[in-house]
Structure 1
Amino acid sequence: MKKEILRLQDVTYKKQNTIIFRNMTFNILKGEIMGFIPMNSYGMDELLDVIVNNLPLYYGYVYYQDKCVNSWKEEKHSRNRICLIDSETSLVNGLDVLTNVFTLRAGFGQEILNEKMLTMQLQPFIDELGVSIDPFMPVEKLPAYKRVMVELLRAIVAGYHLIIIREISTVISEDELGKLFDIMRYYTGKGFTFLYVSYHFEEIQQVCTRAILMSEGSINLIFDKEQIKKGISEDNYIDYYNHVSQRLLHRARGNVPTAESRKEVLYVRDMSGKYLDHFQFSVYKGECLVIQSLDTRMYNEFLEILEKEGGFKDVDMLVEGKKVSDYRTRKIAFMKEEATQTMLFDDLTVRDNICIGLDRKAPNIWLKKRIQKSVQEEYYRIFGEDIFDCYINELSDEQKTRVIYMRILLEKPEVVFMVQPFKHAGTPHRMQVWELQTLLLERGISIVILAMNMSDSLTIADRVIRISRVDGKMTTKEFTYNQFSELPMSLPWVGFFDELKNNGEEI
């Protein structure tokens, strides 16, 4: 019988007089990869905080390595020897790999560092990972995958027997994710245990031996190995599945025009850099193009080109046949990653945040109350709520998301670039994003999604271009809508297109 590494027994956690989760009970066995699928983000941060940092409990017990490390009867102030690897780095910038792995960990008692000896101690661990890492490289210069490897190294060297990996597919490529899964399997054979948190069951299926499904702070189901292979029941996310699958069926049956029959609104004639090599693509009126990068360096370079101050210096871009050099024309819009945190001014009202984006189209908008009133009425007509005079910091995440999309609707660009719009999104948020993107497309606004992790982008896409580097050269492969079933089955929703094809549906 396998030994338990972690057990939560009837754990209830209360925050600011609100019960976040109640009677949470599950265990993780030594040497397994346990999956965790949050249907939404509610309670996820707090749960991980309880596991790692022993937050005060309202009721229940937490056991780690056969010891009761937290109890409702008494507060524990110690941190458990558990590693959390997230999409945001926990490494200390300005210090090298060697320092981050050895000298910053608890229990390291050497005052005088013998770098040669430490390097010799580290090298066997690096060799196990099968990746080339310079021990003296400052960690901020590491690409995302190597950064994840260094965080994993730190946990292995420190002897952390439980390693939590959360939403890591948003920062590393599809190929790198496969390598990470192989490494996780290798270390389970050496007695380490993993808790892998992802919003996408397709990822869980690739690597996990059991999985927990959580919604609104409650455990809905614990899957065993056979149930994971069988797949997640549609009942667990029926509203989202019905919404999306009906749209996909509608499009699959030929009710949406092909890209070739649409007007070209954007032509990127040349996008070049250190890793991108004369990349070209077109975007058509009212379509969604997903550009998935299988190489983190290409992804970051693409992003840098679009975000660079001073305009589009490394890209030759035409909108409706006319060259554009920056965003000031409002012909192109740009939605940043995690836009609710990066694109709104918390200390301004909804009115101000929306009107900021319209000051070029309507220069006198700040003086003309009639225009502001018209914008307010349009917002209410679309979203059914009057929050125009509320401050951003008073809104929910769902309301903030609507404000951002409303600003784009009113700006009426020809094309909007979106960076991983489904990142960290639970099922309700993914449905909201999908519906808002659909609204943009219906208004004739084209969407270009830049993604590392495909996430739910396939549900809104008309075309997909996958870019990568092979033997030092850039490669591109385009998939039209009727070719989506040819994409890797590990990607979310590819199975749906494969099923349509097997059922004889004309795509």
Structure 2
Amino acid sequence: MKEEILRIENVTRKKDGVVCLDNINLHIFKGEIMGMIFLTSRGKDELIELLCNNYPIEYGRIYYKEELVNYYEYSSMSMNQIYVISHNNGLIGNLSVAENIFVMRKGLKKHIINQSRLNKEFYRLFPEGLSGISPEKPAYELTHYERCLVELYRAVVADCKLIVLRDLASFLSRVELMKYYEYIREYSSLGVAFLYLGNHHEEVFLISDRVALVSEARIIKILSKEEMVEEHILPYTIPFEVGEPIPGEAAGILTFKQVSSKNMKGVSFSVQKGECVVLLDKGSDIHEDFLDLIYGRSKVLSGSIIYKGKPYTHKEARKALQQGIMTINKNPIRTMLFWDMNYLENLTFLSDRKLGCSVIKPRILESIVEEYQSYVGREIYTGNLKELEPASLYNLVYYRVHLYNPDLLICIRPFADADMYLRRHIVELLYQLKEKGITIIILSLNVADSLSIADRMMLMEDGRIIKNYEKKDFDMFF
């Protein structure tokens, strides 16, 4: 009989009076990799919270390692020995890799830490090392991939029987993800159970033994390994195709000619006006260099950049916004909104610079309200942004760009951490910008949903562009 690591029985949980987990039933066995796809994000954070902490629940029971740890009549508020690996760094930056693995765990009673002893213990447990990572390396120097690897070993050393992996594809490249899967499978074979939370079925199917589909805080379907095929998930998905591609003009708006930088090695490409191009970087180093060059944070070592038919020098790059270049960051509602300002103030932020005035005239504001009320309705009069849903906040970010109307928009991982319905909404917002003639460059680590809006995709690896895919070639990725 299989050993059960986690069992959730009929669990309902409320937060601030709202049901965030609705009659959840789930069991995970020893050594199993259980996938979970949230079609809507409701309940995702609350489920992870409840796995790690025995918070009060309205109904049901939770068993961990075959022991009752939480039930509706009594919640101990204690913590379960479950580890979460996500975009949030779980390591202490100023400590070494070995210190993070061995020292920062329960039960250690020593006050003076001997680094050489830690190193010996490190190589005793991991005779082949950690993918070339030195035990003395400070945690703050680790890449995302290295950090996730160290956290995995940290969880194993701490004897965690269940490890939660959250949205790894949003910050690891596909190559890194495939390598990480090998380590997951290795520890799965040794009895460690995993709960793998992802937004894309292609990613989750690849690693999971079973997959739970979650919508509006309820598990609506559990797929076995044999059922992990396109036809079984299609009824629960929504189409992402919108409109026809808009052809670009003959002249490229942005051209890189044999550009070399810290990580680029003679990169050459051209993006046409009105085109949407995905730069798929298997690492992410090229993305960083690209942004540094565009915004003047670093200089071209050799080669040249041409923007709108003229040399794009370091001096010009320091004034990127004035040159008509804007960026939408990853997770923009966290990083690009001003919560002490109202909707209209956020919407018109930066527009005063384009208009060349410190205060936008009332008649211009009235015109803006009239135009954008047709897109967002009465939300344009919102005073407190906290009243708005995520989709409405994404509207605000993208319509700010729509209003400013730049020549070139750079989107950094636009679908990261978004559920299926929000991803579809982001695609529609991008298409509205594309319809306006704005050239869009999407920086992505995985194919995700970018191809539904893209005209072309360039695959980058080891500092070079290794393949250029036209829209007619996109079928090979699905």
TM class by shorter chain equals over 0.9
Tell me what 1:464 maps to: 457
What is the root-mean-square deviation in Å for CA atoms of aligned residues?
2.1
How does 1:399-478 map onto structure 2 within 5 Å?
A: 399-469=392-462, 474-478=464-468
Does structure 2 retain, via aligned residues, the 8 Å contact 1:415–1:446?
yes
Equivalent-residue separation in structure 2 for 1:313 and 1:468 (angstroms): 19
- Counterpart in 2 of 1:504? none
Aligned residues of 2:31 and 2:193 also touching (Cα < 8 A): yes
Instruction: Tell me the secondary structure at the aligned position of residue 268 of structure 1.
Output: strand
Task: Give TM-score, length-normalised by structure 1.
Answer: 0.88
Which one-letter code corresponds to 1:59 in the other structure?
A: Y
- Alpha-carbon shift at residue 286 of structure 1 (Å): 1.8
Which residue pairs with 1:56 in the alignment? 56
1:162: how far off?
0.6
Provide the residue aligned with 2:381 in structure 1.
Answer: 388
- Residues matched between the structures, number: 472
Q: Deviations over 1:244-298 (max 9, x none)?
A: 24x4xx64xxxx4655x54422223464322112323221122110001101333
Is the 8 Å Cα contact of residues 55 and 76 (structure 1) preserved in structure 2? yes
Q: Structure 1 residue 66 and structure 2 residue 54: aligned?
A: no
Aligned to 1:107: 107
Cα distance in structure 2, aligned partners of 1:87 and 1:422:
14
2:255 to 267, 272, 292: 267
CA contact (8 A) 1:365 1:371 kept: no
State the partner residue of 2:371.
378
Specify whether residues 299 and 129 from structure 1 end up closer, same or farther in structure 2 by C-alpha distance, changes over 3 A only. Answer: farther
Please name the residue that 2:280 is paired with: 292
* Larger displacement relative to structure 2 (453-462 or 123-132): 123-132
Cα contact 1:365–1:372 (8 A) shared by 2: no
In structure 1, the partner of 2:193 is 193
Alpha-carbon distance, 1:87 to partner: 1.4
Q: TM-score, normalised to structure 2's length?
A: 0.93
Residue 499 of structure 1 is matched in structure 2 by none
Does residue 484 in structure 1 map to residue 474 in structure 2?
Answer: yes
Q: Is the 8 A contact 1:144 1:296 kept in 2?
A: no
The equivalences for 1:212-361 within 5 A come to 212-229=212-229, 232-237=232-237, 240-241=238-239, 244-245=240-241, 247=242, 251=244, 256=245, 258-259=247-248, 262-269=250-257, 271-306=259-294, 316-322=304-310, 323=312, 324-325=316-317, 326-361=319-354
Counterpart of 1:150 in structure 2 is 150
Contact 2:329 2:412 in 1 (8 A): yes
Q: Is the 8 A contact 1:129 1:183 kept in 2?
A: no
Unaligned runs of 5+ in 1: 487-493, 496-507
**Residue 99 and residue 426 in structure 1: after superposition, are their counterparts in 2 closer, same or farther (change >3 A)?**
same
CA distance in 2, matches of 1:444, 1:268: 21
Tell me if the contact between 2:254 and 2:307 (Cα under 8 Å) persists in the aligned partners: yes
Q: Which position in structure 2 is the counterpart of 1:500?
A: none
Q: How far, CA to CA, are the matches of 2:288 and 2:232 in structure 1? A: 33
Please give the alpha-carbon distance, in whole angstroms, between the structure 2 residues aligned to 1:217 and 1:68. 23
**Against the structure 1 CA distance between its residues 135 and 413, is the aligned structure 2 distance closer, same or farther, given a 3 Å change threshold?**
same
CA 1:407–1:475: 2 relative to 1, 3 Å: closer
How much does 1:68 deviate?
0.6
Q: 1:9 is aligned with what amino acid?
A: E
- CA 59–15 in structure 1, closer or farther in 2 if over 3 Å, else same: same
CA distance in 2, matches of 1:162, 1:450: 33
> 1:140 maps to what in 2?
140
- Tell me if structure 2 keeps the 8 A contact 1:319–1:331: no
CA 317–391 in structure 1, closer or farther in 2 if over 3 Å, else same: farther
Q: Give the 3-state SS of the residue equivalent to 1:183 in structure 2.
A: helix
Q: Check 1:70–1:316 CA distance in 2 against 1; reply closer, same or farther (3 A cut).
A: farther
Is the 1:292–1:466 contact (alpha carbons within 8 Å) kept by the matching residues of 2?
yes
Contact 2:123 2:129 in 1 (8 A): no
2:437 match: secondary structure: coil
Structure 2 match to 1:176: 176
Q: Is the aligned partner of 1:202 residue 2:202? A: yes
- Partner Cα separation in structure 2 for residue 461 and residue 129 of structure 1: 41
Q: Which residue of 2 aligns with 1:498?
A: none
Aligned partner of 2:143: which letter?
A: P
**How far did 1:316 drift?**
4.7
Residue type of the alignment partner of 1:327: A
2:38–2:419 Cα contact (<8 Å) kept: yes
Identity of aligned residues (%): 31
Alignment partner of 1:418: what SS?
Answer: strand
User: Residue by residue, what CA displacement relative to the aligned partner does 1:319-356 show, whole Å, maximum 9, x if unpaired?
Assistant: 32133423231511111111111111110112212222
Describe the superposition over 1:214-233 as per-residue Cα deviations: whole angstroms up to 9, x where unpaired.
Answer: 01100110011100146543
Deviation at 1:168, TM superposition (A): 0.9
Structure 1 counterpart of 2:156, one-letter code: I
Partner AA of 2:448 in structure 1: S
Range with greater deviation from structure 2 (177-186 or 393-402): 393-402
* Paired residue secondary structure (1:22): strand
Counterpart position of 1:501: none
Q: Secondary structure at the match of 2:386?
A: helix
> What one-letter code is carried by the residue in structure 1 that aligns with 2:469?
F
Q: Compared with structure 1, are the counterparts of its residues 232 and 90 closer, same or farther at alpha carbon in structure 2 (3 Å cutoff)?
A: farther
Is 428-437 or 347-356 further displaced after alignment? 347-356
Task: Note closer, same or farther for the CA distance 1:200–1:48 as it changes in structure 2 (3 Å cut).
Answer: same
Shift, 1:383, TM fit: 2.8
> Gaps spanning 5+ residues in structure 2: where?
none
